[in-house]
Amino acid sequence: MLLEVTGLAAGYGALPVLRDVTMAVGQGEIVAVLGANGAGKTTLNRVLSGLLRPRAGVIRFDETLITTANPEAIVSAGLIHVPEGRRIFARHTVEENLLLGAYRRGRTRRARNLARIYALFPRLSERRSQVAGSLSGGEQQMLAIGRGMMAEPRLMILDEPSLGLSPRLVDEMFDLVGSLAGDGTAILIVEQNVVRTLDLASRAYVLENGRIALQGEAATLARDPVLRQTYLGV
């Protein structure tokens, strides 16, 4: 397994959020994390990328312990977190955002990756010298993912990438995630869009109050009556 999480606990101050979370993501696999608002999905992502120290448990990435590693070491190892709400650098140009994505990579790889991203996202290429804050919501999401790709991820964590996008852009975004995985990048995707996500992922975990309440093959979960009742209301 590329990412292996065992018995993870985390929280803020006196507030415990995650309890005994055990999960894994394989090489090139798409894994979904589902759950209601406040279930702890973003907290899990923050712990995995080193923004928040866990209270207990073990995290391994590519056989290496990263439980208490710094974000920069985790980025260098190839675990890239594209955060909820995009968090692009609004006053930097589009190109500067992309270059910052490859902050931990050398100049030649940076230039190569930039060319690849521009080929994939012609709209970002057209707007390369515009400030990122002036982009539309959809373009900003593409930029956030493009910035993540600049770091050459082996595992990319996407936190609610379809939030606030029009239906057409949601389609584009899911296609993009599928093609990223097709190129060998493992994906851990957090989404509210349960149907589309279970369609895309091979496996899924359902978080409830910081614990894993359900897990399994995405196709099986898509037919699970409890899940359908809770998240789809059918």
Q: Residue 192 and residue 38: Cα distance in Å, rounded? A: 12
Under rule CB under 6 A, residue 14 binds ligand ADP? no
> HSE of 154 in the Cβ direction (CA atoms, 13 Å)?
14
Size of the site for ligand ADP (CB under 6 A): 11
Among 14, 37, 122, 183, binds ligand ADP (CB under 6 A): 37
Under rule CB under 5 A, residue 42 binds Mg ion? yes
Strands (E), the chain: 3-12, 15-25, 30-35, 56-61, 64-65, 79-82, 155-159, 186-190, 203-208, 211-217
Q: Toward other proteins, which CB reaches closer, 36 or 89?
A: 89
Q: Residue 137 and residue 163: Cα distance in Å, rounded? A: 9
- Minimum distance of ligand ADP from residue 33's CB (angstroms): 8
Among 31, 32, 41, 81, binds ligand ADP (CB under 6 A): 41
Q: Which stretch binds Mg ion (CB under 5 A): 39-47, 50-58, 124-132, 205-213?
A: 39-47
Helix (H, G, I), strand (E, B) or coil at 186: strand
Rg from Cα positions in the chain: 17
Q: Which amino acid is at 87?
A: R
**Which one of other proteins, Mg ion, ligand ADP, none is in contact with 54 (Cβ closer than 5 to 8 A by kind)?**
none
Please answer whether residues 107 and 142 qualify as being in contact, where contact means their C-beta atoms are separated by less than 8 angstroms. no
**Which one of ligand ADP, other proteins, Mg ion, none is in contact with 154 (Cβ closer than 5 to 8 A by kind)?**
none
Backbone angles phi, psi at 92, to 5 degrees: -85, 160
Q: Toward other proteins, which CB reaches closer, 55 or 105?
A: 105
Residues in contact with ligand ADP by the rule CB under 6 A? 12, 15, 17, 35, 37-43
Residues in contact with other proteins by the rule CB under 8 A? 49-51, 70-72, 75-76, 80-83, 87-92, 96, 99-101, 103-104, 147, 151
